Amino acid sequence: MTVEISESPLAALDRPTLRGTRYNFAGILKAINKNKFYYLLALPGLLYFLIFHYLPMFGIVVAFKDITPFSGLDGILHEPFVGLIHFKHWIQSYYFVNVMGNTLIISGLKLLVGFPAPIILALLINEVRTTWFKRGVQTISYMPHFLSVVVVSGLVMNLLSSQGGLVNQAVVALGGKSHAYLTDPAYFRSILVSSHVWQHVGWGTILYLAAMSGIDPQLYEAAMIDGANKWQQIRHITLPGIAFVIVILFIFAVGGLLNAGFEQILLLYSPSVYSVSDIIDTYVYRSGLLGMQYSFATAVGVFKSVLAMILLLGANWFARRLGQTGIW
């Protein structure tokens, strides 16, 4: 007598799952092969982030060791851990309050002035009906974005120079006295913010104008029939229509709040304005590269990165709580 042993239900369920897994894997390979040219286009960007953003994260261990300029890779791998001592020295440092305060104040001013400026400019450009004038204004406004920070800083220095600068020439012609604006703490932050806004305001309008182009024109026609003026149309149609773009860019801006503009400040500042311009990045530059305190400078950089991540997560959470679309 032959006894048939029936297959267990679990075993019966396992086979399709495994087959499905193999099928999905094969499907992924097939999709990659089908779109291989698109993946090749994305490859340089992926390699950039891998090489310059993910692989260097191995260097974070330097913040927890005491590395000398001559330790090399062997020191990074084999030097004993010293814990959080460098973070403690940074928080207890004499410069901590001033550096953190300058970073937050300069970034806050750039966010306060620089974030709404592209929105206002995009709203104004969107209301222009003369095509050639609209395109001309848009082109002129975002041309400074393509200038390097070195060029913009050179323009600022030439304009504000106390010896023959255009601004001082105008002041003297009007009966005033020549003044060294770049070495005066009372003016330095204003110069940083205004030059930053001038360089980037036009480029920031591109996303907002693209979002405005997707708003249904019939909404404006209906609002005009109901008697809505331009301000009411902007308030109740245009701004709600681009709200998702504003929220996403604001989250990114808050996440980058600790990036106060290292290159710009490094090119323009001097010891006479350290009290109002010395930020985390310039302090890391002086401590790490000039002072050769590699572990301490790395610890300060890690501190900044962790704080920036907290700000980014907090801004995204707050946006989701308000019912807006977050980054994730």
The pLDDT tens digits of the residues spanning 55-99 come to 888 888 888 888 877 777 777 777 888 888 989 999 998 889 999
The answer on 163 and 102 residing in a single domain is yes
pLDDT mean over 266-279: 90
Decide if 175 is inside a domain.
yes
pLDDT mean over 105-122: 93
AA letter at 68? T
The answer on 298 and 150 residing in a single domain is yes
Decide if 161 is inside a domain.
yes
Domain of residue 15: give its range.
9-64
Distance between CA atoms of 268 and 257, rounded to whole angstroms?
20
Per-residue pLDDT, 1: 44
Instruction: Give residue 9's pLDDT band: very low, low, confident or very high (50, 70, 90).
Output: very low
| pTM for the predicted model, two decimal places | 0.81
Residue 65 pairs with which residues in a beta bridge? 81
Largest CA distance in the chain: 120
The answer on 212 and 176 residing in a single domain is yes
User: Residue 302 above 60 pLDDT?
Assistant: yes
The answer on 146 and 262 residing in a single domain is yes
Token reading at 35: 């779109």
Q: Are 135 and 206 in contact (CB under 8 A)?
A: no
Per-residue pLDDT, 71: 73
Decide if 251 is inside a domain.
yes
User: Residue 107 above 90 pLDDT?
Assistant: yes
Per-residue pLDDT, 105: 94
| Portion of the chain with pLDDT greater than 90, in percent | 31
Nearest to 162 by CA among 183, 184, 175, 178: 178
The answer on 130 and 25 residing in a single domain is no
User: Residue 12 above 50 pLDDT?
Assistant: no
The answer on 291 and 172 residing in a single domain is yes
User: Residue 210 above 70 pLDDT?
Assistant: yes
Around Cβ 221, how many Cβ atoms within 10 Å?
10
Decide if 76 is inside a domain.
no
29-58 per-position pLDDT tens digit: 888 888 888 889 999 999 999 998 888 888
The answer on 174 and 29 residing in a single domain is no
Per-residue pLDDT, 20: 46
Token reading at 49: 């982030």
Q: Report the mean per-residue pLDDT for the chain.
A: 85
The answer on 184 and 36 residing in a single domain is no
Decide if 27 is inside a domain.
yes
Q: How many domains does the chain have?
A: 2
Decide if 230 is inside a domain.
yes
The secondary structure of residue 125, as a DSSP letter, is H
Per-residue pLDDT, 229: 87
Distance between CA atoms of 324 and 248, rounded to whole angstroms?
9
Token reading at 325: 């679309």
Decide if 241 is inside a domain.
yes
Per-residue pLDDT, 36: 85
User: Residue 4 above 50 pLDDT?
Assistant: no
117-130 per-position pLDDT tens digit: 999 999 999 888 88
User: Residue 327 above 80 pLDDT?
Assistant: no
pLDDT mean over 261-282: 90
Nearest to 262 by CA among 279, 287, 286: 279
Instruction: Give residue 178's pLDDT band: very low, low, confident or very high (50, 70, 90).
Output: confident
The answer on 105 and 56 residing in a single domain is no
pLDDT mean over 283-293: 87
Decide if 215 is inside a domain.
yes
The answer on 242 and 311 residing in a single domain is yes
User: Residue 18 above 70 pLDDT?
Assistant: no
> Is 49 strand, coil or helix?
helix
The answer on 245 and 159 residing in a single domain is yes
pLDDT mean over 145-150: 91
Residue whose structure tokens are 């959080």? 84
User: Residue 225 above 60 pLDDT?
Assistant: yes
Per-residue pLDDT, 2: 45
The answer on 156 and 52 residing in a single domain is no
DSSP H or E segment with residue 19: helix 9-34
User: Residue 16 above 50 pLDDT?
Assistant: no
User: CATH number of the domain that 291 lies in?
Assistant: 1.10.3720.10
User: Residue 11 above 70 pLDDT?
Assistant: no
For the packed helices 243-255 and 294-321, what is the interaxial angle rounded to 10 degrees?
160
Per-residue pLDDT, 281: 92
CA torsion sign, 14 to 17 to 22 to 23?
A: positive
